[in-house]
Structure formats: structure tokens, C-alpha cells
A = this chain, B = another copy of it.
Amino acid sequence: MRKIVDQCAEAKSTLGALLSLHSSEKNAILLAMATAIERDESDILAANQDDILQAEADGLTAALIDRLTLTPSRVQAMADGLRAIAALRDPVGEVVDGWVQPNGLKLSKVRVPLGVIGIIYEARPNVTADAVGLCLKTGNAVVLRGSSSTYRSNRAIVDSLDSAIPPGLPPGMIQLLEDTSRAGVLELVQMKQHLSLVIPRGGATLIQTVVNNATVPSIETGIGNCHIFVDQSANFLWATNIIVNAKVQRPSVCNSCETVLVHRAIAAQFLAQLAGALVDNKVEIRGCAETCRIVSKAIPAQDSDWDTEYLDLILAVRVVDSLDDAITHIGAHGTLHSEAIISNDHAAITQFTTQVDAAAVLVNASTRFVDGGEFGFGAEMGISTQKLHARGPMGLAELTTTKYIVLGAGHTR
């Protein structure tokens, strides 16, 4: 088994070659990778089958096994994703800013690759192809630390992607860590001499582990305790449709809604309507005392419900006295991901969008729209819930940094 430090060092050694690739060369490799994935579909599915059998033997839950399972359409989606990345504009080389100082010094601020990016992810093997595509496009080398339960699948995918790298370019720009131990995560996030960034994509425990132990800069992604506040001026039909959509369309993702806050002035009338729609969609309601008085099917909420990311067909509902109280509740329980207001009151909307601290604040729209695809980025490397470097859906630009180039003619101070 190769050592983590050796794999990280090999990734770093390819940065010069990556930097010398033009966009057209990177795009040609991405398209060749897409073709390779299609060609190798049966090998990838066979490796995945081995992972599934092992997972069943190890007694993994059905939900986990579903997440690690590949199908022909999921493999096709990987290839399509690589082609979509090839079609995007390359951010590397973009001149972000530029000016001339009074002394004649010419400054430009240019987008450049970050370096080596470590991605730590859980079961889903499709992340492997996505992460490689995004990193290659932006001139970064990538160190992939997938879970041990999907090692065979990830290996087959990386072998296929590697086969598309032309002679003369080192395939070492993609490193799938052979060491998938838990201790290996700690080692990886302290590989400061080789890595520029680590991105954990997974549950709260993984993210906490990375934050607590990383010396490499990291970006927190994907924890979303998202709220929708229904103001007294809300269009009830919009509010109902948006809440059902934000809860039901895909409950397992971070931008789904977990708590609805309802203004007291309309609580009785609106909650009666909302409850019917939720029950029709098999959503369990955990309500505050007032909600339980109005909605007979509601289960009394515990304090912990306000902080729970259910990722399931469960919704916490609380009646609040005012917009201020809604904002205070979100400040106390939100995770800085996505927060929505349903309202037709301009002053309320202005106050909510100004005072609520989150990567995205939505007005009369479902929290499910906070997503790289829905924002038009064409590809996404997770949704950042921290404030530094990248906030909200991360596209290609967020995988780059900048460099100042300063041109003088013998200038001294």
C-alpha cells in the first residue's frame, strides 16, 4: 500500500505539467475521459458489484448501499458530467483586475490554479469522476480519499480516467489514496507541504474531524439546517408549493428545508392549508405548542428538533410572533446555508435579506435552488457554508486562486 505522503508528493510533482496545458488540451483530455468511462462501463460496474457484495457482507445499511451503487445511467451521468465540464469556460488565466499605479507600475491580478486539492468523500463513487474533471479543468492536481467501501469502484473509475491522459503527461495528477483508514484522514489534512486545500464532502462528523485537525486550509460543505419563514403577507399558494417542494423533492440533500417558521398573524389559516399538503406527501410534522393546537396530526417538537437536519420526510414547524423573532430563530439554529422568506412585503423582504446571515437568502423561492446546477455554474464541487474564499455553490472559479503580476521598468521605492 502506497503511503499518503508519497501519493501527495507525486500529485504535487505534476503541477508544472498541468500549468503548461492550454484549455484546448485540458478539454481534449476531459472528452477522452468521458469516452473512456463509456468504454469501461462494464469494468466499472463489475468493480462496483464487488463493493456491493462486500457492503452486504459487512452489513451496511440499505441507504448506504444505495448510495454506493452504480447503474449504467449513473455511469453515463459521469461521462456526461465530464463533457459538460469540458464545455465550460476555463477560469485559469482570467485577468480579474488590473490597473496602473501613478508611478507607472502596471498591476494585473490573474486567476491561477490552487495546486493540489484533497477531496474527502463518502460512499458516492460518482464524486470521483466529478472531482477529477473539475480539478483537471482548473489545472489542479487532485488527491481523492474515498471511503474504503467504494475503493474498488473508485479504482476502476480512476484507472479509466488515467487511460485518457496522453503520453508525456503524468497520470500522477490523479491520486486515489490506497490508505483509506480513518487515521489516514488525519494524516491527509495535515499534509500542508503538498496540499493547498482540502474539501470534506460528507456528514457532520467528517466535517468536524477535518475542521478540528486540519492544518491545510479547508472548506466546509454541505450541512444545511435550512428554514423557510412564512410572513403575514405571504401568498399561501406559493408558500405551500415552495415548502412542499423544499421538503419533498429530495429530502436527503443539504438544501432541503428542515424547519418552517410561520408568522402568528396567519398561523391558524395557513397551517391548516399547509398541513393538508404535507400529510398528502407523507411528511411528519413536529410542531411547537401553537402548531400542535392548530394541526391535529402534528407531533410535539423537542428543543433538539430546531437543530436537527432530518434529511428525511420530517418537518419542524414553529409559530413566531414577528419577523424579528424569525430572524432571531434562524440566527440561533441556522447553519449559514440557505434561508428563505415567503412574503409580499417589501420592508420585510429587505430586512430578512439584509439581516439573515447565510450563503444564500431566497425570496419566494425554494431552498432547493441553492445548487451549482440551478445557479447555472454547469458543475459544482459542493456548497460552502463557511465565509472564507467560497460561499454557497462552488463552481470552477472557487477552485482557483489569484496571483499579482507587477510590471516595472527599473522601479524602486
Binding site for B on A (CB under 8 A): 15-16, 19, 99, 101-102, 105, 107, 112, 114-115, 192, 196-197, 211-212, 215, 217, 219, 235, 237-238, 241-242, 244-246, 249, 353-355, 357-366, 368-370, 374-376, 386-389, 391-392, 401-413
Number of copies: 2
Choose from B235, B361, B389 the contact partner of A406 (Cβ within 8 Å). B361
CA distance A99 to B374 in the complex (A): 12
CA distance A364 to B238 in the complex (A): 61
Q: For A407, what are the chain B residues with a Cβ–Cβ distance below 8 Å? A: 362-365
CA distance A401 to B388 in the complex (A): 7
Are A369 and B19 interface neighbours, CB within 8 A? no
Are A370 and B101 interface neighbours, CB within 8 A? no
CA distance A15 to B196 in the complex (A): 31
Interface-central residue, A197, A361, A365, A406, by most chain B CB under 10 Å: A406
Closest to A235 in B: B410
Are B406 and A401 interface neighbours, CB within 8 A? no
Are B360 and A404 interface neighbours, CB within 8 A? yes
Closest to A100 in B: B376
Are B411 and A364 interface neighbours, CB within 8 A? yes
Q: For A249, what are the chain B residues with a Cβ–Cβ distance below 8 Å? A: 412-413
Are A366 and B99 interface neighbours, CB within 8 A? no
CA distance A215 to B353 in the complex (A): 28
Interface-central residue, A15, A19, A405, by most chain B CB under 10 Å: A405
Choose from B215, B388, B402, B406 the contact partner of A365 (Cβ within 8 Å). B406
CA distance A362 to B106 in the complex (A): 10
CA distance A354 to B403 in the complex (A): 10
Q: For A360, what are the chain B residues with a Cβ–Cβ distance below 8 Å? A: 403-406
Chief secondary structure at chain A's binding surface? mixed
Are B387 and A115 interface neighbours, CB within 8 A? yes
Are A363 and B408 interface neighbours, CB within 8 A? yes
CA distance A244 to B411 in the complex (A): 12
Q: For A388, what are the chain B residues with a Cβ–Cβ distance below 8 Å? A: 114, 196-197, 217, 219, 388-389, 401
Shortest distance from the beta carbon of A46 to any chain B beta carbon, whole Å: 35
Are B405 and A217 interface neighbours, CB within 8 A? no
Q: For A370, what are the chain B residues with a Cβ–Cβ distance below 8 Å? A: 404, 406
Other contacts beyond A105-B374, A392-B402: 14, CB < 8 A: A101-B375, A112-B357, A115-B357, A197-B388, A242-B412, A249-B413, A357-B403, A358-B403, A363-B408, A364-B407, A364-B410, A365-B409, A368-B412, A370-B406
Are A365 and B401 interface neighbours, CB within 8 A? no
Closest to A15 in B: B357
Choose from B101, B211, B245, B392 the contact partner of A412 (Cβ within 8 Å). B245
Closest to A213 in B: B215
Shortest distance from the beta carbon of A396 to any chain B beta carbon, whole Å: 14
Closest to A404 in B: B360
Shortest distance from the beta carbon of A365 to any chain B beta carbon, whole Å: 3
Q: For A387, what are the chain B residues with a Cβ–Cβ distance below 8 Å? A: 114-115, 196-197, 217, 401
Are B391 and A401 interface neighbours, CB within 8 A? yes
Interface-central residue, A114, A392, A401, by most chain B CB under 10 Å: A401
Are B404 and A392 interface neighbours, CB within 8 A? yes
CA distance A389 to B401 in the complex (A): 8
Closest to A408 in B: B365
CA distance A407 to B362 in the complex (A): 6
Q: Contacts A211-B192, A249-B413 given; indicate if A105 touches B359 (C-beta within 8 A).
A: no
Q: For A197, what are the chain B residues with a Cβ–Cβ distance below 8 Å? A: 387-388
Are B361 and A403 interface neighbours, CB within 8 A? yes
